[in-house]
Chains A and B, each alone.
Chain A
Amino acid sequence: MALTPTCRINRHANKELVQEVPPIHAVRLDGPSRTSTKCGATNKQRIHRLARAPRAAAEQTIRTRERNLRKSHWRAGIDRRTLVKSGAALAAVQFASPFVIPARAADAVKIGLDNPLTGTYAAPGKNELVGCQMALDEINGKGGILGRQAELVVEDSTSGDAGVAVQKARKLIDSDKVNFLLGNVNSALSLAMAQVSNEKGVLHIVPGGHTDAVTGSSCHWNVFRVCNTTQMEANAVASALVKEYGKKVYYITPDYAYGHTLESGLVKAIGALGGEKVGGDLTPLGTVDFSSYLIKAQAANPDVILFLIQGDDMVNALKQAVQFGLDKKVHLAGAQQELEALEGLPPEARIGTWVMEWYWNQPGVPHVAEFVEAIKKRTGRPPTARNWFGYVSTWTCALGAEKAKSLKAVDMAKALQDFHLPPEIALGPNPAFYRAGQNQLLATLFVGNAQAKGSVPDDLFKVTKTVSGVEAAGPLEESGCKMTWPT
């Protein structure tokens, strides 16, 4: 009998076993016979075994092969049964764990935050969370809300999935029994959540969702908003834009409610000052390449191109515009700007006139410096508007409850009508208050220019003028809010 590698002999003997083995095994027909084959022993050993006791050798090889076959299905070396058992145990713990959660103070006042912590809006969402946490610590340090400690229950709404945001809102209200609801960065999600909070009659404060409808056409008695409406932003920045740059405007607008309302607000405000729209483009969220839009913008021969897009889109578009040298041909500006975006831009792209809803470098305004220091301790950077939104929203819950002497949503909502924030919360040159009948906070808007760097590190924005919220907001009737109160 030829001394062929034993594997081949067994291969013929155990055809059905062999069939199941994937044919990708490296079969080196010309390979050295010393090396160990998949059969679990060196060829030399097998030949010896075969020579001594053919049948036993064959049986042993069959057993080895069976073992290898079983193993080949799960190579990590962990026995599958163990994994299943531990997985099942883990799963059981998951489901049982509501009982295992350390017993919360049964009488704590719960504030539910339903904000994006992942996805495109993770950065502003997390910054708002930091502001909320700081406010919470201050509130608890001062004795809590109506004598009870306050607690923040945080859920990730994701950046765009309304289903999840609504689900989490319901979970916070039904399961966690929060007293107040905060959120969301994404305008659309704020609207969806507002519907839930209104249905359940829970006080809801929107820190940073900008679409006008939240305190406009879709306003509710229980929904308050801290950040500005797009019309307010447009009104604040319009005159600076027209005066500095000219009358012919091209718009690069993000294609969702916030963008549409901001653009129409600007068209109206700039139009009132004699400006005209020479063209525009709607860009979807998450556009990475703006070159075709910029080509069109440039061809329309405007005086200024307004970038209404936000976040990462803003960073991409400005970077590309500066790369194209467009800033030397046309002016680049926009409306809302955020410190997060400026930090993400390369220094040469930090240009243009913008409006910020809150800025940290406010010399001469009391209490701001302490706030800046406190936030710097937490994040290592100066506060952004988002930190301030979260801070104000949480404090509003505490202050509203104090004024109403109750945690009931209706009482608190009534107490918050025309409610003025104390200066250490308002942190701005003008008084800040929630306008009655609209539940919209009117504070201060900061118009200015982005700068590559300022006198202090992280001072990336030079404020040229502040506009009071009242002035920017226009009359109440214009907002379109018709508030109905529960009977």
Chain B
Amino acid sequence: MLARVADGGAGGEAWRMSQVVLFNVFNGLIVGAFYALMALGLSLILNLSGVINFAHGGFLALGAYLAYTLIPYIGFWGALIVAPPLTALLGLIVERLLIRPLYGQDPLYGLLLTFGLAYIFEDVTRMIWGAQSVPFQVPGWLMTSLSSQYFFLTGYRVFMMIIVAAAVGGLFAVLKYTRLGMRIRAGTRDLDTVSTLGVNVRVLRSLNFGIGIYMAGLAGVLAAGLLGLSPTIGANLIMPSFVAIIVGGLGSLLGTLIGGLMIGVVSGLAAVYFPSATEAVIYVMMGLVLLVRPRGLLGEEGRVH
């Protein structure tokens, strides 16, 4: 059954190998779902406002630290519910004060501003909570493995998948069925017309930004349970989000979702076959996609120029 059993020769080896591959693919989907959550928030902001939010990782870290601070008072579930909206609130403040003036200008400025914000966030979280990793308490029963064979399916990872699925599903539902979602979708295509039609575009952008940051905050709370919580937690996660968006295609949220999942799976497979290329492989994948289909897998025409 499992690796402990003495196996004989080539047959056992091949079976074990395929098992490793299979496990890595499954695991990759789980990890990829997490990347997709983060990338979706980033993509949402990018599509509507044209701002590359480099500070996304910083918001993720803030969400995680807020949850860490709240857990002693309202428990893990309370923190899970409360921390992301708090982060979104902070995001709204940042958007109102700093990012709003940049709309309509060169995307360069948005990029630089959020770049600077990322530095500030990292430093502030280090100032407040210290440089050392802090222990993030997740309910014990979540932290164990669900099955002896599929040991990487811990309760926490399954829980994370469920939350991600719910969040993504919720996001798509909001976009499809609510008026706000409809306006966001319309705004992604043609913001000027939407503005002419009487929609308050400022508020729309703010809300959109808020939703994006909510996703980042949620991803942060989930990440803290999965990984160690330190001020640099966001910095490593932002690059794969970019790749997810590029691979999936600019302008398409579904593409971003697929891109995120692909990243997880491809990294997992690379860990088996080309361990030293585990990080670089997602960029190779991106390069290939760009070669074959410059607008991304599900990207829209006209976004490229």
A322–B143 Cα gap in the complex (Å)? 8
The proximity string for A residues 117-130 relative to B, scoring 1 for CB distances below 8 Å and 0 otherwise, is 01110110010000
| Contacts A23-B195, A323-B144 supplied; 7 other A-B pairs, CB < 8 Å | A27-B195, A27-B198, A122-B231, A286-B236, A288-B226, A289-B31, A294-B152
**A345 on interface, CB distance cutoff 8 Å:** yes
CB within 8 Å for A27 and B137 given contacts A289-B227, A319-B228: no
- Contacting residues, chain A, for B31 (C-beta < 8 A): 289, 291
The proximity string for A residues 452-479 relative to B, scoring 1 for CB distances below 8 Å and 0 otherwise, is 0000000000000000000000000000
**Is A343 a contact of B132 with CB atoms below 8 Å?**
yes
- Contacting residues, chain B, for A320 (C-beta < 8 A): 226
**A316 on interface, CB distance cutoff 8 Å:** yes
**Is A282 a contact of B276 with CB atoms below 8 Å?**
yes
* Least CB separation from B279: chain A residue: A284
Segment touching B, from A187-195, A324-332, A418-426: A324-332
- Contacting residues, chain A, for B201 (C-beta < 8 A): 24, 26
- Contacting residues, chain B, for A340 (C-beta < 8 A): 132-133
A29–B196 Cα gap in the complex (Å)? 9
**Which of A118, A292, A315, A340 has the most B CB atoms < 10 Å from its CB?**
A292
**A42 on interface, CB distance cutoff 8 Å:** no
A35–B85 Cα gap in the complex (Å)? 31
CB within 8 Å for A323 and B145 given contacts A24-B103, A296-B20: yes
Could you list 10 A-B pairs, sorted by A, with CB under 8 Å? Answer: A23-B192, A28-B198, A75-B101, A292-B27, A292-B267, A292-B268, A295-B23, A298-B151, A346-B135, A346-B143
**A281 on interface, CB distance cutoff 8 Å:** yes
**B165 on interface, CB distance cutoff 8 Å:** no
A119–B232 Cα gap in the complex (Å)? 7
**Is B20 a contact of A299 with CB atoms below 8 Å?**
yes
* Least CB separation from B105: chain A residue: A22
**B123 on interface, CB distance cutoff 8 Å:** yes
**A301 on interface, CB distance cutoff 8 Å:** yes
Total contacts A-B at CB 8 Å: 139
Tell me how many residues of A have a C-beta within 8 Å of chain B.
Answer: 53
In the complex, which residues 7-28 of chain A have their Cβ closer than 8 Å to any Cβ of chain B? 22-24, 26-28
A293–B276 Cα gap in the complex (Å)? 12
**A276 on interface, CB distance cutoff 8 Å:** no
**Is A299 a contact of B19 with CB atoms below 8 Å?**
yes
In the complex, which residues 195-232 of chain B have their Cβ closer than 8 Å to any Cβ of chain A? 195-196, 198, 200-203, 223, 226-228, 230-232
**B156 on interface, CB distance cutoff 8 Å:** yes
**A429 on interface, CB distance cutoff 8 Å:** no
- Contacting residues, chain B, for A126 (C-beta < 8 A): 131
**A312 on interface, CB distance cutoff 8 Å:** yes
In the complex, which residues 38-91 of chain A have their Cβ closer than 8 Å to any Cβ of chain B? 72, 75
- Contacting residues, chain B, for A118 (C-beta < 8 A): 123, 126, 131
CB within 8 Å for A296 and B202 given contacts A123-B132, A291-B152, A325-B144: no
**Is A344 a contact of B135 with CB atoms below 8 Å?**
yes
User: Shortest Cβ distance from B261 into chain A, in angstroms?
Assistant: 15
**B4 on interface, CB distance cutoff 8 Å:** yes
**Is B3 a contact of A298 with CB atoms below 8 Å?**
yes
**B16 on interface, CB distance cutoff 8 Å:** yes
- Contacting residues, chain B, for A324 (C-beta < 8 A): 145, 151-152, 154
User: Shortest Cβ distance from B118 into chain A, in angstroms?
Assistant: 13
User: Shortest Cβ distance from A349 into chain B, in angstroms?
Assistant: 9
**A174 on interface, CB distance cutoff 8 Å:** no
